[in-house]
Chains A and B, each alone.
Chain A
Amino acid sequence: MTSYSRDRISAIHHELHRHLPSEPALRVKALETILIEKGLIDSQSIDAWIEAFSEDIGPKRGAQVVARAWVDPQYKARLIADAPAAIDELGYLGYATCHLKVVENTDRLHNLVVCTLCSCYPISILGVAPNWYKTAAYRSRAVRDPRGVLAEFGAIIDDQIEVRVWDSTAELRYMVLPQRPAGTAGWTEAKLAGLVTRNSMIGTHRDLTPKTAA
């Protein structure tokens, strides 16, 4: 039974810090071995989770949602009004997206998503969050110096554009709907999805203009 005692947890953290090797790979191996010996998990299922998040559940899902919204104004309206239902149409509703909100970039607005307190992220449509998203650097700076952070990613935001930062402090999750770039008229949904970067859906990438646009 969980104790819900913070003092007990602090004591356990302290003991783990004192007694375990500093190399994380060794500690993972030891934990995995014990849990397998206890019959709680098995190696095959561990491999399955890793494969699913390397192959199936990742930012390609979000890119398909964005491309659909670009070509289908009615889908876009549903996505803005009720994002969980709209991503469920594509089979992408899942863990951490039951209260998804989609925030739209415009000529006058740029959106940026962060979780300053931990690492909240819309995993079922964007996959495992990038490591930088979970670092102290991004979490501390995104709310205080969003334009500096964006510049570091190569996105210079004009002074006339308002930046909106969404700090994911509850179970709502945020995804940015980037602007469809010029020069893509007549493109298929699949081709458009190829333009959508993971970072554009977090908000650290703004201009998706294709490099070879004619």
Chain B
Amino acid sequence: MDGMHDLGGKERFGPIDVNEREVPFHSPWEGRVWAIVMLTRLRGGSLDWWRHVRELIEPTDYLTRRYFDQWLQTQTAALIDAGVLTLDEVVSGKAASSPNVRPPLMQRRDVVAQFASMATSFSREINSPPVFQPGDSVRARLMSAPGHTRLPAYVRGHVGVIHAHHGAHIFPDASATGEERAEHLYSVAFKASALWPEASKRTDQIFLDLWESYLEQA
């Protein structure tokens, strides 16, 4: 999707707040958003769907709202879409029904244990062998399909080199539509000098992790 979220290489943003206080949350409400999303994350669809719901935030909101406000907007929309909440409930601030159920109560140590148990593998076995090998030159395809993708605009059409093969991983473009299938995943190195005119004399490199169908032989 050619959305506002695809920020790599866009110009005139800045400066960066390098003196920001080193704390996880900058207001009490930010911590509560974090906790609410983690506690209700399984009710809102796949991780890639969730990312896509965030990408679909209105572009002006995407650029101007604080990060955890975007999380709040994303989770609220995902929960409404999944039928967990209704728009009327969110707007009125009152639940239409109050079932007599009690969620499990968590202590701090339970959170630490649960977070450790959430180490999820995205690797999958597939039958087809990898098309590319480390050292191969590849071109990122000129794709701009409307759905979710993890192929950023700033490398599309550019040539890079396969740096590593990671086996097959769940393919996000499909996962964001509720379909789980896997493709070979590669780290691809792009020369900064090939991507950016102002870096023509640099030896710097940019590495991206890209799925096989994002790439073609160069």
CB of A90, distance to nearest CB on chain B (Å):
11
Interchain nearest-CB distance for B89 vs A (Å): 5
**A interface residue numbers (CB < 8 A to B):** 1-6, 8-10, 12-17, 19-20, 24-25, 27-35, 37-42, 44-58, 84, 91, 93-95, 97-99, 116-119, 123-124, 127-128, 130-132, 134-141, 143-147, 149, 152-154, 162-172, 198, 204
CB pair A168 B108 closer than 8 Å: no
Contact among A6, A25, A44, A131 for B106, CB-based, below 8 A? A44
Instruction: Tell me, rounded to whole Å, the shortest Cβ–Cβ distance linking B179 to chain A.
Output: 9
Known interface pairs A24-B66, A25-B27, A144-B8. Does A16 touch B90 (Cβ–Cβ under 8 Å)?
A: yes
Given A137-B14, A138-B16, A140-B11, A1 and B82 contact (CB-CB distance below 8 Å)? yes
A138 to B67, CA, bound (A): 13
Q: Is the CB of B208 within 8 A of A167?
A: yes
Contact B7 A139 (CB under 8 A): yes
Indicate if the CB atoms of A2 and B108 lie closer than 8 Å.
no
Whether the Cβ atoms of B111 and A94 lie closer than 8 Å is: no
B interface residues, tally (CB under 8 Å): 123
Indicate if the CB atoms of B106 and A4 lie closer than 8 Å.
Answer: no
The answer on a CB contact under 8 Å between A130 and B22 is yes
Which residues of chain B from 82 to 108 have any CB-CB distance to chain A below 8 Å in the complex? Answer: 82-85, 87, 89-91, 93-95, 97-108
Q: How far is the CA of A13 from the CA of B53 in the complex (A)?
A: 9
Question: What residues of chain B lie closer than 8 Å to A8, measured between beta carbons?
Answer: 81
Residues of A within 8 A of B23 (CB): 54
Chain B, range 1-57, C-beta contacts under 8 Å to A: 5-11, 13-18, 20, 22-29, 31-36, 38-40, 43-46, 49, 51-54, 56-57
Which B residue sits closest to A27, measured CB to CB? B72
Is A135 touching B16 in the complex (CB atoms < 8 A)? yes
Which residues of B lie under 8 Å from residue A12 when comparing CB positions?
A: 77, 80-81, 87
| Centre residue among A5, A143, A168 by max chain B CB count within 10 A | A143
Let me know if B166 is at the binding interface, CB within 8 A.
yes
Smallest beta-carbon distance B185→chain A, Å: 6
Contact of A132 among B20, B97, B192, B202 (CB under 8 A): B20
Which of chain B's residues has its CB closest to A162's CB? B203
B201 to chain A, nearest CB (A): 9
Contacts of A54 in B (CB 8 A): 23-25, 31
